[in-house]
Structure 1
């Protein structure tokens, strides 16, 4: 694979209760465990960062496919829910639900474009076979 761009970030402090910053300083956040996991929730967490990244990346993949297919995806949106919980093997795992809204397309067209985007999105390719990713498609 030819690398086109490399992002760099450093986490310091106490992991999930620490700090994260990108090398260019554009992302500079305090981290905190969510209340649901026993933390104070007074910072962002890795699951929120992953959800934001996956939603943005998937939306870009969807736009690329739409351009190729000359489909109108104006007013589209992609939301991501990232869940974390214990696995049967004793560690922790993630599960993702992507909520894709394509109000200008029929249900069939929206589902087809979403499936195609799922095949080209770098986050989808990285997670495929590793975590459960559920695609939910709506027209509004």
Structure 2
């Protein structure tokens, strides 16, 4: 399965994302939320603990390969994260942007190539899940 980390200064990032999916027809179980859209495409969001997030960052944790858009003003390791699995980049981008529009804090994506994307700069053709 293809995946990426969604990160934010927002402390309840997973809760916010899970609620968004459930409000739009998804379902929820402990530590995860999932939605299957009208075309049968699935997106799954997993809660990520601080330790899991730091391990996912790998060393050095503060230097992604590149940044697209405005970078966070604080170190990546201090941000909250959740893991999102999705096979369709376009579906992933649309849900992350919906999340960002409803959030009071900025949202970024750390993709499979260690590129950090500002949510408003996500490009489904260049993003690597």
What TM-score bracket applies, with the shorter chain setting the length? 0.3 to 0.5
**Higher RCO (C-alpha under 8 Å, 6+ residues apart):** 2
Q: TM-score, normalised by structure 1?
A: 0.34
| Larger radius of gyration between Structure 1 and Structure 2 | 1
